[in-house]
Structure 1
Amino acid sequence: MIDWDDIRYFLAVAREGSVRAAAERLEVNHSTVLRRIAQLEERLGAQMFEKRPSGYRLTNAGEEILEFAEQMAASSNQLATRVFGRDQSVRGLLRVTLSPMLATHLLMPDFAAFAALHPDIEMEILSSDEPVNLTNREADVAIRVVYDRSTLPPNLHGLKGPELFGAVYIARELLADWRAGMAERIRWIVKKFDGIPDWGREGDIPISEISFKTIDAGTHIAALRQGIGMTALPCFVGDADPLLAKVPGTGLHMHGTLWLLTYGETRKTKRVRLFTEFLSRRLSVYAPLLAGLAASD
């Protein structure tokens, strides 16, 4: 008899392409993944993967098993979601995914307030820009900035929130230096693989051809505060920081609309409903801040 847990490990390696990545996704150690794969191969009497320098590649037998494994995973997720949706207790785990900036600079006080109101709900905040699959119950609620509503998956239920605007910001000290003629061209601080948006070039300050690159939101904002250059930020981040100012000659730019997203039966769970209704009210209060209308230089 095949153990469903072995199938989960098989799927993780097949999807991630490496044992290490699968172990990180499943939150187990490397040896556990290898042991589970070996156990499945022994029960099926076939080798599932071929190890190559580029990673783990499915064998012909592995390819045949993959389709059935995906079907098993889908059925398991559907069952778990349906049972979860029947849960009307205000107790248990609630997983919320959102970008690090939204978590750190806007919503953490609201998460704290919700946790205080409902001490029996165990909250897990998945602060990441990486996509999370709600269908597979990787999270219960996703807070996302959506530019085009038509791109939302039809199987997700959404509560529409306020529109989110951004602007170009610079450290106030660096702005003073530029106005005093001490800096002619200013670097653009690039986050990850982003470039300079066209609307970011519309300001009065010329942009240097030499950029400054960072890989995470915390480093990005720290570099801006240190006067290394200028960059685009959501208004709820830039306007709330006393060390920063909008770059002269630039306007506001709409990034998209905030949505609270849930999947199928999950949204019927009482703790999910309580959270989405609570946060929807809080987001409406933040509408001026999110639109860049709550502060002026």
Structure 2
Amino acid sequence: MHNWDWDDLKYVLAVADHGSLAAAARSLGVNHSTVLRRISSFEALNGLRVFDRLSSGYTLTETGEDLLESARQMQMIVRQLEGRLRGKDERLEGALKVTTCDTLMGSVLPRILAGFSEMHPGITVALTTGSFVTDLAQRDADVALRTGDSAPDALVGRRAVDVSFAIYGTQELIERNNGKTPAEFDRWLAPDMTLGGMKISRWLGKTVPETSIAMRGDSLVSLLRAAECGQGFVVLPCYLGASSRNLRKVDHPEFDAMATGLWVLTHSDLRKTARVRAFTAYVSKEFRRAEALFRGSV
């Protein structure tokens, strides 16, 4: 009855999930006009009105809701098929989609990726620092490199090393606060609510008065850059703090219990794919080689 093209349905799903053309365009890596054109073309070709265009954004019509349910079923089937086929791929070439966090890319990971590319020049790493849960759950990534206390049940992999945390500040700031406890330090930089689930966020919330918070941010790399300018003390994973020449570590016994894991993860149906197997083995080995850095003992 309708000419349904899966490539068109990806645009419908993106707009439905994100509520606007701009957000959908960012998620798909295309421009705003491309999304508008594909949605309008799909509606015209099939004689459907999928979205109501409101000032607050795009809202699904009743027809659109029915279409969305079928589109999600198609999406799941396509991704399962892609996963099974990729899992049979024994070539050490092609694209490998990797998701990670900005703290790793701002410190140790670029060197490791460079070594992997030199060893396997036929593999192109497609890197994102987006949402770990979304990237893997929606099959937008083949491998995830993330910190955390545990791995989701749907994924397989290994806890490569433990990651320790510490307080960091400039030499001048440390000298000015000599003899004080962390609660008495005059200025702090803290994660905002988007990183509220981290142990360090909970520790800061219990220990540091709100009046001592000079800035909050949604990126530990951004907080590191602010700390390098002397704006305040910051709690960082040791591998990130050690990457800065301007910051010095402040030892504090409470952080001994805050270590978490650094995980190398993939889907069960991809773990035998040659390029996934080569990448996870190489990265895990390099992480273990840098264990002293991750534990803050260098």
TM-score range, shorter chain: 0.7 to 0.9
Moved more, 65-74 or 98-107: 98-107
- Counterpart in the other structure of 2:224: 221
- Counterpart in the other structure of 1:100: 102
Partner SS state of residue 259, structure 1: strand
Unaligned runs of 5+ in 1: none
Amino acid at match of 1:126: T
What is the percentage of aligned positions where both structures have the same residue? 36
Amino acid at match of 2:229: Q
Give the counterpart of 2:261 among 257, 261, 276.
Answer: 257
Give the counterpart of 2:214 among 204, 211, 216.
Answer: 211
Contact kept? 1:160, 1:259, Cα under 8 Å? yes
Contact kept? 2:132, 2:144, Cα under 8 Å? no
Note the C-alpha offset of 1:254: 2.1
What does the per-residue CA deviation read over 1:23-60, in whole Å, with 9 as the maximum and x for residues that have no partner?
A: 11112222221222122222332211112222111111
Note the C-alpha offset of 1:234: 0.4
Contact kept? 1:202, 1:250, Cα under 8 Å? no
Moved more, 214-223 or 115-124: 214-223
- Counterpart in the other structure of 2:134: 132
Q: TM-score normalized by structure 2?
A: 0.87
Greater helix proportion: 2
- Counterpart in the other structure of 1:157: 156
Distance 1:271 1:235 in 2: 30
Partner SS state of residue 265, structure 1: coil
Distance 1:259 1:59 in 2: 42
What does the per-residue CA deviation read over 1:116-166, in whole Å, with 9 as the maximum and x for residues that have no partner?
A: 00111111221345643324331110011122x2xx333211222111111
Q: TM-score normalized by structure 1?
A: 0.87
- Counterpart in the other structure of 2:169: 170
- Aligned residue pair count: 288
Contact kept? 1:145, 1:255, Cα under 8 Å? no
- Counterpart in the other structure of 1:22: 24
Once the two structures are superposed, the pairs formed by residues 240-279 of structure 1 within 5 Å of their partners are 240-247=243-250, 249-252=252-255, 253-279=257-283
Distance 1:284 1:218, change over 3 A: closer
Amino acid at match of 1:157: V
Moved more, 223-232 or 187-196: 187-196
Amino acid at match of 2:170: A
Contact kept? 1:167, 1:232, Cα under 8 Å? yes
Distance 1:155 1:201, change over 3 A: closer
Give the counterpart of 1:233 among 231, 236, 239.
Answer: 236
Moved more, 112-121 or 52-61: 52-61
Amino acid at match of 1:143: L
Amino acid at match of 2:233: M
- Counterpart in the other structure of 2:9: 7
Amino acid at match of 1:91: E
Unaligned runs of 5+ in 2: none
Amino acid at match of 1:61: T
- Counterpart in the other structure of 2:186: 186
Note the C-alpha offset of 1:231: 1.2
- Counterpart in the other structure of 1:46: 48
- Considering only aligned residues, what root-mean-square deviation do their CA atoms show, in Å? 2.5
Once the two structures are superposed, the pairs formed by residues 69-84 of structure 1 within 5 Å of their partners are 69-84=71-86
- Counterpart in the other structure of 2:291: 287
